[in-house]
């Protein structure tokens, strides 16, 4: 099962840029929690801390595609050093403002500016894979591998952030994130052999990559998948507290991530003959089926089982959606296209967290799981209704590439 991945990682430069991307991406799973820990450990309310963290996440979700467009145009080695530097400076400014008890509005401003300059490293790495590989099956396997890396990052990041914030100092998780971002950028930038070439100005005339045929459907579905992620995380925290087993929270979330990681490895290693739009549709239908029982669960053990099963259905959606984006968007706009779907997950995660939180306060955890169930079902319906559009856009994009 692992042989397709080892073959890819033996190619010149692939292990090097993928591992560099891992270092640079790790802060993404630490920053939001690091912000909340920093503020709450200094006596601020969870409401303020959560609002600052969410504002930064939304800022990043909306700005990352814009940064990616400049990266496509000017190259990773030119843009990434500047974005990483500005992000680190504003994060350091945020720490200083909080320590000096500056006005709260200044915390929001500094934190959002810090998040605004964080490039979507995952899209940069996937763009490199799409550049160095020529076969679509290999690209899908590479994207599956990066999805597993994402899962590992989001399993390892939060415990690391919590440990160093509690064990060293309240702002240590943010400082660690800054150092990891700087180290990852420092390692990735010199790797010019695997860097996609910059595109010409002509490739960037017109609207954003979101407007390419089929992309609105994929992006909207990824927003809804993000709602599933956010709703599951917040709902699980509240569910375990309601049933008097808060210590099971980490285990349940880990089971969900482990299920997704295992499914990603399996799905990426097989090569289906079904066209990507259809794979995307059936993957989304499977996710919807897995999410439907969530509001009716009244057992922590059963939630763990359903969460594991749901995790198995998540990776195929992410893998096929990313691979479909790689087909729908011209290679000169690849980083931007992949950033758009990544931003969709970020926006959805924030929305899912907020909406689920409101329902939890009013009705409890089980009804809040209805948010992710409804979102998953709506996502499946959108893909089913838009399957002809996706099929047409996919075939047209492939014909254009063959004609080039």
> For residue 264, what is the domain's CATH number?
1.20.1250.20
Confidence (pLDDT) at 206: 53
Confidence (pLDDT) at 260: 80
How far apart are the C-alpha atoms of 167 and 311, rounded to whole Å? 31
Q: Are residues 175 and 247 in the same domain?
A: no
Query: Which single residue is written with the structure tokens 């709703």?
Result: 231
Examine residue 367 and state whether it is found in any structural domain, yes or no.
yes
Examine residue 201 and state whether it is found in any structural domain, yes or no.
no
Confidence (pLDDT) at 199: 65
Reading phi first (left if > 0) and then psi (alpha if -120 to 50, else beta), residue 329 is in: beta
**What parts of the chain have a pLDDT lower than 50?**
202-204
Q: Are residues 183 and 246 in the same domain?
A: no
CB 355 within 8 A of CB 371: yes
Alpha carbon separation from 212 to 217, 236, 275 (Å, rounded): 10, 37, 19
How far apart are the C-alpha atoms of 140 and 5, rounded to whole Å? 11
Confidence (pLDDT) at 87: 93
Confidence (pLDDT) at 141: 83
Confidence (pLDDT) at 362: 80
**Among candidate residues 140, 163, 196, the one where a domain is terminated:** 196
Q: Are residues 289 and 164 in the same domain?
A: no
Confidence (pLDDT) at 373: 93
Confidence (pLDDT) at 207: 62
Confidence (pLDDT) at 31: 84
Q: How many helices (H) and strands (E) does the chain have?
A: 16, 0
Residues 6+ apart with CB under 8 A from 110: 90, 91, 93, 94, 97
Residues 6+ apart with CB under 8 A from 134: none
Query: Which single residue is written with the structure tokens 């099971």?
Result: 248
Confidence (pLDDT) at 62: 81
Confidence (pLDDT) at 20: 92
Q: Are residues 337 and 384 in the same domain?
A: yes
Two structure tokens written together for 160? 């690391």
């Amino acid at each position: 099962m692992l042989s397709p991945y080892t073959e890819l990682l033996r190619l010149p430069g692939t292990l090097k840029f993928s591992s560099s991307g891992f270092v640079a991406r790790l802060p993404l799973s630490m920053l939001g929690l690091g912000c909340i820990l920093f503020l709450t450990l200094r006596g601020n309310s969870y409401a303020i801390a959560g609002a600052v963290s969410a504002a930064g996440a939304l800022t990043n979700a909306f700005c990352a595609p814009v940064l990616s467009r400049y990266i496509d145009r000017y190259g990773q080695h030119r843009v990434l050093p500047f974005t990483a530097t500005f992000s680190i400076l504003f994060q350091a400014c945020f720490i200083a403002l909080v320590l000096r008890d500056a006005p709260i509005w200044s915390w929001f401003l500094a934190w959002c500016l810090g998040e605004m300059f964080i490039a979507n490293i995952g899209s940069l790495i996937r763009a490199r894979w799409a550049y160095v590989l020529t076969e679509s099956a290999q690209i899908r396997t590479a994207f599956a591998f990066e999805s597993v890396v994402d899962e590992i990052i989001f399993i390892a990041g939060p415990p690391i952030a919590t440990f160093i914030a509690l064990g060293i100092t309240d702002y240590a998780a943010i400082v660690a994130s800054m150092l990891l971002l700087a180290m990852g950028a420092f390692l990735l930038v010199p790797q010019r052999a695997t860097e996609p070439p910059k595109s010409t100005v002509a490739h960037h005339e017109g609207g954003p990559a979101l407007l390419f045929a089929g992309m609105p459907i994929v992006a909207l579905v990824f927003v809804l998948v993000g709602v599933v992620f956010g709703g599951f995380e917040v709902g699980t925290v509240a569910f375990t507290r309601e049933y008097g087993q808060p210590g099971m929270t980490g285990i349940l979330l880990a089971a969900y991530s482990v299920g997704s990681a295992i499914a990603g490895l399996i799905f990426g290693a097989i090569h289906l003959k079904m066209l990507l739009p259809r794979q995307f549709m059936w993957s989304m239908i499977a996710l919807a089926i897995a999410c439907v029982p969530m509001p009716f669960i009244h057992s922590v053990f059963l939630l763990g089982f359903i969460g594991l099963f749901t995790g198995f259905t998540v990776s195929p959606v992410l893998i096929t959606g990313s691979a479909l984006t790689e087909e729908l968007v011209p290679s000169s706009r690849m980083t931007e296209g992949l950033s758009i779907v990544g931003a969709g997950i970020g926006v959805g995660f924030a929305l899912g967290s907020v909406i689920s939180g409101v329902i939890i306060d009013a009705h409890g955890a089980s009804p809040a799981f209805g948010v992710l169930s409804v979102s998953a079902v709506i996502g499946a319906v959108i893909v089913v209704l838009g399957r002809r559009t996706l099929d047409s856009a996919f075939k047209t994009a492939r014909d254009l590439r063959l004609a080039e």
